[in-house]
Structure 1
Amino acid sequence: MFQIPGNLQFITTADGSKTLFNSQIGENYHSKHGAFQESRHVFVKSGLEYFLNLTKKTQVSILEVGFGTGLNFLLSAEYCYEKSIELDYTGIEAFPLPETVISATGYNDYVRSDLWMAFNTHYRKALLQPAVINEICNLNIAHTELLQFVSNKKFDIIYFDAFAAIHQPEMWNDEALAHITDFLNTGGVFVTYAITGNLKRSMKRLGFSIEKAPGAPGKREMLRAVKL
């Protein structure tokens, strides 16, 4: 499980942060226009910050589809630490990255050093069971495919960060979306970098109000939806 995959290579994106290119799928893990900028805009600002401003909660639970390099988690944990928000974070990842790849991302340049060190220390444990990252944050990485994910928890926010539908259409169909959004609380927020006619229609059928939100650099719009 922890051998370095031969189909992955690091690239530097437009904002100077790194991402991975998966040659087998033919897509980057993050936007070439800026991995850090995309993660912060789509998920932290348009998802986490939006939800907290809306609800004024001091505790939040996040479910991420496509944990990948952990960038969305790290920036969310950093934000919650600064705002004294308790964070319970679960990521779904069918193909967890080796610890050596996680350590080489360079994301230590974007978060507190103690958070970075704790993430690296507990990454392997989080793949097996919930791990305490710090006094306000827990992390669990479910090593499973989306449709096999089970949990007795409900979540406040879903970060939907799967590879694009052109490469992984099975991640974006009605069955997959219905399965994952069943874990979202009423009033919970679903955010993703993508916005297509099919996605909007699917989310409406599932009982969501949808919004075209401004996209990250290089993308005009993104989708944010609230469960009614």
Structure 2
Amino acid sequence: MSKVKLITTEDGSHSLYHEELQETYHSFHGAYRESIHVFMLYGLDSWLARNPRKYPIRVFEVGFGTGLNAWLALVWAEQNQIPVLYHTIEPFPLEKEVYSQLNYIEHDHGIWHYHKYFNALHEAPWNEGGPVSEYFNMKKDQVTLEEAQLYPSDVVFFDAFAPSKQPDLWKKEILEKVTDAMRPGAVFTTYCAKGQLKRDLKELGLATETLPGPPGKKEMTRAWKNSDQ
């Protein structure tokens, strides 16, 4: 894969800088805070508030990357004792020498006892599925979004690189592939707040919201699929 460089973001948590794309994997203002805000608060928490007894929750993530979103989702599942079926794709997995340096398990001492699962997520075999913890099952596919076979999802973590860096992943036809696989009432959440993204999601039939972004970012996007779709 292309060379990546370890960086420290403003909240003290690590991210990676992709030298070919000249882009970071997370916000400079805080990788950990961004994932909590965009994907846990406005993703899993929001879906659960609308569906308090509808389990398991099926999550689809675009971009396994550093594994931060998957690890936080596992912690969320364990803390809430709610089963999560997690499907993630990543065409360019990180090597152990890279992901083993990431400091997420030391960043929040309140969830440090879940540290063993971080490496377990990375070490889980690609293109296979299975349990990682009592409440968290995961399938990782080493494919592009264009190639991926998608399964019905309740929550979408759309965490691709920015539209300016990977525009093909934000095309309307690709978004349509993702939204078509969303179950009625599912939620789509992303750090991106571009007007074109929101217009495309609306045209695909989703109720789209512009929400406050994580620290350092003014806005983000969340969109809901109609329960009747």
With normalisation by structure 1, the TM-score equals 0.93
2:172 corresponds in structure 1 to: 174
> Matches of residues 142-221 of structure 1 in structure 2 within 5 Å?
142-151=141-150, 153-221=151-219
Alpha-carbon distance in structure 2 between the residues aligned to 1:130 and 1:113:
25
Amino acid at match of 1:86: P
Q: How many residues align?
A: 223
Distance, in Å, in 2 between the alignment partners of 1:227 and 1:126 is 32
CA RMSD of aligned residues (A): 1.5
Q: CA deviation at 1:112?
A: 4.1
Residues 170-190 of structure 1 show CA distances to partners (whole Å, capped at 9, x for unaligned) of 010111101122221110000
Unaligned 5+ segments in structure 1 are: none
**What's the counterpart of residue 83 of structure 1?**
80
AA aligned to 2:80 is: K
What are structure 2's unaligned runs of at least 5 residues?
Answer: none
Match of 1:59 in 2: 56
Q: What does 1:1-228 align with in structure 2 at a 5 Å threshold?
A: 5=1, 7-56=3-52, 57-109=54-106, 110=108, 112-113=111-112, 115-121=114-120, 123-151=122-150, 153-228=151-226
Whole-angstrom distance in 1 between the partners of 2:207 and 2:18: 33
Query: Any idea what the Cα deviations from partners look like across 1:50-102, whole Å, max 9, x if unmatched?
Result: 10011103421110001100101111111121111111111111111112222
Code of the residue aligned with 2:45 in structure 1: it is E
Identity within the alignment, %: 38
Q: Secondary structure at the match of 2:7?
A: strand
Distance in 2, matches of 1:41 and 1:198, equals: 22
CA contact (8 A) 1:122 1:131 kept: no
The letter of the residue matching 1:51 is W
> How far apart, in 1, do the equivalents of 2:127 and 2:203 lie?
35
Query: What is the letter of the counterpart of residue 194 of structure 2?
Result: T
